[in-house]
Amino acid sequence: MKVFLDTNVFVEYIFEREQFASVQRIFQALRNKQIEGITSCATFYTLAYLSEQMLKHKGIHRPELTEQTRKIVRSMLYLVPVGNMDYDDMITGVDDTAFSDIEDSFQYQCALRNRCDYLITININDFSNVQESFVEVLSPTDFVDKVLK
């Protein structure tokens, strides 16, 4: 079984938000090879930026800022690889009117291209207009309850 992890799943984990425990359970399942996961390269751009902002807020400056950001992003890269996308996937993502947020459309196209069974996201509603989905969209908590039990 292959799962696509939306950017906000990583953010939930890094910032220890509401669904942290469920995301932690998913990450453990990935480490134990119970499930296979991927994400998009855009996720890592966002994680690098948000990690730097968080560390700056904590008063951490360069060069330590850069090293800690690398450590955070590297740990996520070791957890899930980057899924493939091509030009046609990007065009489809831009043109898909089921999405009001094009970034979500790109994430969805990446999940489709990489034949994921599930797309795990905090923002379920961002994917609610997809007419015929070949990827089941679940929150981390719902995924844990339904699949990982």
Q: Is the per-residue pLDDT at 83 higher than 80?
A: yes
Domains of the chain: 2-144 (3.40.50.1010)
Confidence of residue 16 (pLDDT cuts 50, 70, 90): confident
Residues 6+ apart with CB under 8 A from 68: 51, 55, 60
pLDDT at 85: 94
At 127-142, the pLDDT tens digits run 988 877 789 999 999 9
The answer to whether the CB of 129 falls within 8 A of the CB of 98 is yes
CA angle 83/136/77 to nearest 5° reads 30
CA atoms within 13 A on the CB side of 12: 22
